[in-house]
Amino acid sequence: MTDGGRIFDPGLQPERTALAWRRTGLAVAVGAVAGMRVLTPALGAGAVVVGLLGLALATLLVVGSMRRARRVEVALLRDHCLAAGPGGRLVATVCIACTAVGVAALVAVLAAHAAR
């Protein structure tokens, strides 16, 4: 993430932040695939739907964070601050998605136990 070889910070903070976003996206992707595998006996074809939703979320995260990283880079190299940088939209989206996954997980676990 250099612009013609220029970097903003020798500590590579923007790059580390972009990588943190990416590994969060990858964690979602791995979780989606593992979830699809683990939930297949219980949900059948429904597990594929869960997996695809998870992969869509992971894609949104990775693509969204790449755009975000680009915006950070442009703002830092031009202004040396983040006044024109990204706000918290992706941050809020991730929170809402994560909470929704949690509610779904809670409902699924309780329903599975009740059905047993």
Partner 1 sequence: MTGHCGALGPMSSPVASRRFPRWVFGEGSEPDPRFTLANERTFLAWIRTSLALLACGVALEAVALPMQPQLRLAASVLLIVLGLLTPVQAWFAWSRDERAMRQGRPLSAPSLMVPLTVGTTATGLLLLAALLLR
Smallest gap from residue 78 Cβ to partner 1 (A): 6
DSSP states of 27-63 as a string?
Answer: HHHHHHHHHHHHHHHHHTHHHHHHHHHHHHHHHHHHH
Question: Is 64:90 a contact under the CB 8 Å cutoff?
Answer: yes
Residue closer to partner 1 by CB (options 26, 52) is 26
Nearer to partner 1, 52 or 109 (CB): 109
Minimum distance from CB of 11 to partner 1 (Å)?
Answer: 7
Instruction: Return residues touching partner 1 (CB under 8 A).
Output: 8-9, 11, 13-14, 16-17, 20-21, 23-24, 27-28, 31, 34-35, 38-39, 42, 72, 75-76, 78-89, 91-92, 94-95, 98-99, 101-103, 105-106, 108-110, 112-113, 116
The minimum distance between CB 1 and partner 1, in angstroms, equals 12
Q: Between residues 56 and 106, which has the closer beta carbon with respect to partner 1?
A: 106
Nearest to 112 by CA among 42, 49, 45, 35: 42
C-beta closer to partner 1: residue 4 or 115 = 115
For 12-21, b/e burial (b = at least 16 CB within 10 A) is: eebbeebeeb
CA dist list (Å): 55 to 2, 105, 113: 29, 16, 26
